[in-house]
Chain A
Amino acid sequence: AQSVTQLDSQVPVFEEAPVELRCNYSSSVSVYLFWYVQYPNQGLQLLLKYLSGSTLVKGINGFEAEFNKSQTSFHLRKPSVHISDTAEYFCAVAVQRNDYKLSFGAGTTVTVRA
Chain B
Amino acid sequence: GAGVSQSPSNKVTEKGKDVELRCDPISGHTALYWYRQSLGQGLEFLIYFQGNSAPDKSGLPSDRFSAERTGGSVSTLTIQRTQQEDSAVYLCASSLSAGQNVSPLHFGNGTRLTVT
Contact = CB atoms under 8 A, between A and B. Distances in A.
Contacts of A34: 100, 104
B105 A46 contact: yes
Given A4-B42, A43-B4, A100 B107 contact: no
Nearest to A32: B100
Contacts of B107: 36, 43-45
Interface string B77-116: 0000000000000010100001111001111111000000
B10 to A, nearest CB: 13
Size category of the B interface is: 20 to 34
B100 A42 contact: no
A65 interface: no
A63 interface: no
Interface residues of A, number: 27
Interface of B: 3-4, 31, 35, 40-45, 48, 50, 56, 91, 93, 98-101, 104-110
Given A99-B99, A100-B99, A104-B43, 6 more contacts: A36-B105, A90-B43, A100-B100, A102-B100, A105-B42, A107-B42
- Nearest 8 Cβ contacts at the A-B interface: A43-B107, A104-B43, A46-B104, A104-B42, A44-B107, A106-B42, A94-B100, A100-B98
